[in-house]
Amino acid sequence: MFQEKSTIPPRSSIIPGNIRLNHMEETTSSTVQIKGLRDGLLVTLTGEVWDDQRASLFEQIDERQSFFKGARLALDIGPQALGVNELVELRDHLSERGISLWAVVSESPKTEKTAQLLGLATRISKPRPEETRHFAVEDLGDETALFLNKTLRSGVRIEFSGHVVVLGDVNPGAEIIAEGNVIVWGRVRGMVQAGSKGNRQAVICALDLSASQLRIADEVSALLEPQSDPRPEIASINPDGRLQSEAWNSG
Amino acid sequence: MAQVITVTSGKGGVGKTTAVANLAVALAADGKKVVCIDGDIGLRNLDVVMGLENRIVYDIVDVIEGRCRLRQAMIRDKHFEDLYLIPAAQTRDKTAVSPTDMVRVCDELRPDYDFILVDSPAGIERGFRNAIAPADRVLVVTNPEVSAVRDADRVVGILEAEEKYSPALILNRLNLVMVKNHDMLSAEDVLDLLAIQLIGIVPEDEGVIVGSNRGTPVALEQKSRAGQAFRNIAKRMQGHTVPFMDMDKQGKLWDRIQRSMSGRRV
């Protein structure tokens, strides 16, 4: 039995700029806006209630199945807070229709954290490579920290605009990128960057710093050997401007 | 009602298919009614390892696409009358099946069997997602080898993030002589990183390859050490407590296993 492949031209040639589709039902008012990206689609949902947004989204998709089939989809859901079950269900239902969800962009920290833990991207544009600019060191007014009460396994990437505290290990293949400090009450064997926006005063502390790679601002460490007798250590940029780690001595 | 158990790994070649074939046979030998499903569409192997490749008429894609009834695709095992195999399709690929399809097939089988074992393909993409969709529980197979453990960690992370699969580990192909000579990771090294419940350690055993080639899983051989390990895992899957082979009942590995069995943070 042969399967016919329908020839759909690349997405960028179908969509001339933005297509805004206003979909008003009797009870809901969510809008679904579809935009073509270089390598897929960005769908922006507005509305207040997740169930309505989801219903509108799938109504659009089901109306034009061949258009969406095989697409890489990034979804912008604004301030909506989604938990594990909702995101997993969304991804599975999209996958049923041949759509692969690769990013969920949201203003809600809960959604962002859940998406990251599920391996989804939370930003769309690739960050530009940092040039050696000297950023004004901002006062972190709130001193906000993200607290993770778990071991970060391979493939998990956590990005945060404040400090990051982990109660657990950072396994090889896991990454933390924090604008502030990074404190790990456990072993660091993955990649950790503190001061990611240029704060050279940032530090990285861990009970065992056998990291694959450490970065503070734009300084990168040499590969650290796993220690046979690990001690708590703190890594920082020393007065000569080099990244170094030293044993933690209380007092 | 059957328990659906998916066996996956991340890395290829670590022993998923071997584990599924042997666990199926061991469970059937204990009197359980078992169906195994080969989830590796396009690269099917479970039929070969069980010695049933010449008996395939229909496969799971035929069932899903409605060309045959579920019963018609079920191949009875040579040794056990309550053990069946639903083979994968060889001439299609993973896009032929969706997670919902797998859930539907397993739901149809549940009332009549005790265990449904799903053999997952390698990777973390569509084939993996299809295989874990119907699972009540997932067993992760790894080898005491750095890249296998790295991949297993990734898979465990994905399973834990979805909070419903209670992953447990099968450490396969452990060579105690190499471990003693510090040429191989120990079970302790592996558990140090993966930190999940351990359900079995299977020693390296040449008989496994011989069994594969002959289509007779080693769990059928009374004298095989790997076979014994798989039989022990099958007992643990049924809720029995079985001591691990070759273990000093002291030391850090023993403590870790005890802690993980009692559900405490490992």
- For B134, phi then psi, to 5°, come to -85, 0
**Higher pLDDT residue, A102 or B35?**
B35
A227/B contact by beta carbon, under 8 A: no
Q: With a cut of 70, say whether residue A130 has pLDDT above it.
A: no
A153 and B157 within 8 Å at the Cβ level: the answer is yes
Which of A92, A118, A173 comes nearest B99 by C-beta? A92
Q: Is A80's pLDDT higher than 50?
A: yes
* β-strands A243-247, B34-38 pairing: unpaired
Chain B contact for A167 (CB, 8 A cutoff):
no
Does A129 score more than 80 pLDDT? no
pTM metric for this prediction: 0.77
Q: Is the per-residue pLDDT at A117 higher than 90? A: no
Give pLDDT, residue B197: 94
Contacts of B99 in chain A (CB under 8 A): 92, 95-96
Q: How distant is the Cα of A72 from the closest Cα of chain B, in angstroms?
A: 14
Is B98 touching A (CB cutoff 8 A)?
yes
Which chain B residues touch A96 with a CB distance below 8 Å? 98-100
Write out residues in chain B with pLDDT < 50, as ranges: 265-266
Question: Using one digit for the tens of pLDDT, what is the confidence trace for A168-178?
Answer: 999 999 999 99
pLDDT of residue A135: 35
- CATH 2.160.20.70-classified regions of chain A: 145-247
Nearest CB partner across the interface for B150, out of A117, A169, A173: A173
Q: What pLDDT band is residue A4 in, cutting at 50, 70 and 90?
A: very low
The token duo for A42 is 């960005």
Are A18 and A2 a contacting pair, CB within 8 Å?
no
A70-84, A195-209, B204-218: lowest mean pLDDT where?
A70-84
* Yes or no, beta carbons of B157 and A92 under 8 Å apart: no
Please tell me the predicted confidence (pLDDT) of residue A36: 82
Between CA B91 and CA B173 the distance in angstroms is 31
Interface list for B 185-224 with A (CB within 8 A) = 193, 195
Comparison of pLDDT for A49 and B107, the residue scoring more: B107
Judge whether A109 is closer than 8 Å to chain B, CB to CB.
Answer: no
Lowest mean pLDDT among A94-98, A224-228, B27-31, B262-266: B262-266
Q: Domain A11-117 belongs to what architecture?
A: 2-Layer Sandwich (3.30)
Average pLDDT for residues A10-24, to the nearest whole number? Answer: 41
Are the beta carbons of B161 and A117 separated by less than 8 Å? yes
* pLDDT of residue A52 exceeding 90: no
Residue pLDDT, tens place only, B254-263: 777 777 665 5
**Please, how many CA atoms are within 13 Å of residue A137, restricted to the half-sphere of its CB?**
7
Arithmetic mean of pLDDT, A218-244: 82
Neighboring chain B residues of A169 at a CB cutoff of 8 Å: 193, 195
User: Which residues in chain B are contacts of A92 at CB distance < 8 A?
Assistant: 99-100, 129, 133
Judged by CB atoms within 8 Å, which residues 136-155 of B form the interface with A? 150-151, 153-154
Domain spans in chain B, listed from the N-terminal domain onward: 3-261
Which pLDDT value is given to residue A7?
46
Q: In which residue ranges of chain A is CATH 3.30.750 found?
A: 11-117
**Total CB pairs under 8 A between chain A and B:** 50
Beta carbons of B110 and B136 less than 8 angstroms apart: no
CB-CB under 8 Å, A155 with B158: yes
Q: What is the model's pLDDT at position A224?
A: 63
B98 chain-A contacts, CB cut-off 8 A: 95-96
Domain spanning B3-261 has what CATH number?
A: 3.40.50.300
* pLDDT higher than 50, residue A6: no
- Band (pLDDT 50/70/90 cuts) for residue A24 is very low
A92 lies within 8 A of chain B by CB:
yes
More confident residue, A11 or B55: B55
Residue A141 neighbours by CB under 8 Å, 6+ apart: none
- Any idea which of A19-23, A136-140, B254-258 has the lowest mean pLDDT? A19-23
pLDDT at residue A33 above 90? no
CATH topology assigned to domain A145-247:
Pectate Lyase C-like (2.160.20)
Q: In what order do the strands lie in the sheet with A100-105?
A: A19-24, A29-37, A40-46, A72-76, A100-105
Least CA distance to A2: which residue of chain B? B92
CB burial readout B191-223, b (16+ within 10 A) else e? bbbbbbbbbbbbbbbeebeebbeebbbbbbbee
**Which of B62, B158, B163 best tests the A interface by mutation, with the highest count of A CBs <10 A?**
B158
Q: Over the stretch B98-122, which tens digit does the pLDDT of each residue have?
A: 999 999 999 999 999 999 999 999 9
Distances (CA, A) of A198 to A136, A218, A222, B1, B17: 8, 7, 19, 58, 49
Render pLDDT for B126-155 as a digit per residue (tens, 0 to 9). Answer: 899 999 999 999 999 999 999 999 999 999
Q: Compare A28 and B76 and report the one with higher pLDDT.
A: B76
Sheet bearing A233-237, strands edge to edge: A145-148, A163-167, A182-188, A204-209, A233-237, A243-247
Tell me whether residues B153 and A92 touch, CB distance under 8 A: no
The alpha carbon of residue B155 is apart from the nearest alpha carbon of chain A, in Å, by 8
CA angle B191, A177, A210 (to 5 degrees): 40
What pLDDT is attached to residue A20?
Answer: 40
Chain A residues whose beta carbon lies within 8 Å of the beta carbon of residue B150: 154, 172-173
| Lowest-confidence region among A41-55, A191-205, B65-79, B199-213 | A41-55
* Interval A25-30 mean pLDDT: 46
| A123-144 mean pLDDT | 52
B238-247 LR contacts (CB < 8 Å, sep 24+): B238/B27, B238/B30, B238/B32, B244/B200, B244/B201, B245/B201, B245/B203, B246/B176, B246/B201, B246/B203
Q: What separation, in Å, do the N-terminal and C-terminal C-alpha atoms of chain A show?
A: 76
